[in-house]
């Protein structure tokens, strides 16, 4: 099941409504690759089971294959919370967004807890937008929260009706996906104000920027009346340059990109790869799902290895498989329940 649909399902059961430090004005080469040493530490974000409070962070050492399960609890002797959604590195601190607990947990580089950001309804993603400010998207608050990174508090709310999801900062503009409003919204981070919107289709949740500084938005669509689309947007004039329409029986999700920013990846039962210069959508999966229940994906920015999680039955610990850029299996290990994403240190 598409993770977004699964989230909607669990909320409906309860009757609920459905990286690094950046300058205030990033330079044009903010997405140009640097040349650091290859990473060996890969964090896996595990949602856990909704309302069970069993979310976790797994730490995988790619050099020796060792896995430290429930790393946050190991470092803090306390559980992380209910439904870990995402994480980011901001000002040399880890920020873990814990959705159903309505908080963002702030940790040092050893994952010791420093603070909790509270006053959030149903947070999804956090994005640093200036030296001391971040935004947090939200599922049900009808707003994007403005976070003061100095004292880890909510300082303001930006009205944005609907379910705001992934965000991206590019040339002093913040782009926000909105699943329930079919638009990509543009926020001015200097004024904390929505200034524009771009129609991209139903269930817009995935957002990436390529090496040409063009935006890509994946909208999963709706089987009944709206096909999934992949939109290419020119950030200069905010126009949709191309729209790739998926067949009616496909519902892709989890948009990722490699370190060279020249290839897109997404899950559609299997894992598909699409060069940014392609004239059409890929028809053949790079990695076939077979009997797997693919749930999360990440592409290592240096090695181009593809990390894919299999949620199995949503109750067991997830199975993680590491593939080469060519789609050949290299490694595998167990993580926590419902592993939905990866952070490459």
pLDDT tens digits along 71-86: 999 999 999 999 999 9
Dist. CA 330–CA 231, nearest whole Å: 32
Q: In whole numbers, what is the pLDDT of the chain averaged over residues? A: 90
Exposed/middle/buried for 49, CB within 10 Å: 0-12, 13-18, 19+?
middle
Give the containing element (helix H, strand E) for 218: strand 214-219
pLDDT tens digits along 215-271: 999 999 986 688 999 999 999 999 999 999 999 889 999 999 999 999 999 999 999
Q: Which of 108, 105, 106 is nearest to 81 (CA)?
A: 105
Compute the average pLDDT of residues 84-97.
Answer: 98
Per-residue pLDDT at 19 exceeds 50 = no
- For residue 45, give every residue at least 6 positions away whose Cβ sits within 8 Å of its Cβ, in sequence order, or none: 57, 84, 85, 86, 87, 96, 296, 339, 340, 341, 342, 343
pTM: 0.89
Q: Which CATH number fits domain 19-344: 3.40.50.970, 3.30.1330.90, 2.160.10.10, 2.130.10.10?
A: 2.130.10.10
Domain boundaries along the sequence of the chain = 19-344
Q: Which of 89, 71, 81, 99 is nearest to 11 (CA)?
A: 99
pLDDT tens digits along 122-149: 999 999 999 999 999 999 999 999 999 9
Compute the average pLDDT of residues 55-68.
Answer: 95
First to last CA, the chain: 29
Dist. CA 331–CA 180, nearest whole Å: 37
Dist. CA 67–CA 41, nearest whole Å: 10
């Amino acid at each position: 099941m598409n993770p977004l649909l699964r989230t909607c399902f669990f909320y409906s059961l309860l009757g609920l409504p459905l990286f690094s430090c950046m300058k205030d004005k990033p330079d044009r080469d903010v997405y140009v690759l640097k040349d650091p040493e290859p990473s060996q530490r890969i964090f896996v974000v595990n949602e856990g089971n909704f309302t069970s409070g069993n979310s976790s962070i797994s730490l995988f050492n790619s050099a020796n294959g060792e896995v430290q399960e429930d790393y946050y609890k190991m470092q803090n002797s306390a559980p992380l919370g209910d439904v870990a959604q995402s994480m980011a590195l901001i000002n040399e601190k880890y920020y873990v967004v814990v959705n159903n607990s309505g908080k963002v947990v702030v940790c040092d580089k050893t994952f010791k807890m420093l603070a909790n950001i509270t006053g959030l309804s149903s947070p999804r993603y956090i994005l640093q937008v200036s030296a001391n400010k971040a935004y947090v998207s939200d599922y049900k608050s009808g707003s994007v929260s403005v976070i003061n990174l100095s004292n880890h508090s909510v300082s303001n709310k930006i009205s944005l009706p609907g379910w705001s999801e992934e965000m991206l900062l590019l040339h002093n503009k913040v782009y926000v996906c909105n699943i329930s409003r079919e638009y990509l919204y543009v926020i001015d981070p200097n004024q904390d104000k929505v200034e524009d919107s771009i129609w991209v289709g139903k269930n817009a949740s995935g957002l990436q920027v390529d090496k040409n500084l063009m935006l890509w938005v994946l909208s999963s669509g709706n089987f009944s009346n709206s096909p999934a689309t992949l939109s290419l947007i020119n950030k200069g004039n905010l126009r949709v340059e191309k729209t790739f329409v998926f067949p009616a029986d496909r519902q892709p999700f989890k948009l990722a990109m490699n370190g060279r920013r020249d290839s897109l990846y997404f899950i559609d039962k299997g894992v598909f790869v699409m060069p940014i210069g392609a004239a059409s959508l890929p028809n053949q999966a790079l990695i076939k799902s077979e009997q797997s229940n693919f749930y999360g994906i990440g592409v290592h920015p240096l090695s181009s290895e593809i990390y894919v999680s299999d949620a199995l039955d949503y109750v067991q610990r997830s199975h993680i498989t590491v593939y080469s850029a060519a789609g050949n299996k290299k490694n595998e290990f167990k993580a926590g329940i419902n592993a939905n994403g990866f952070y490459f240190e």
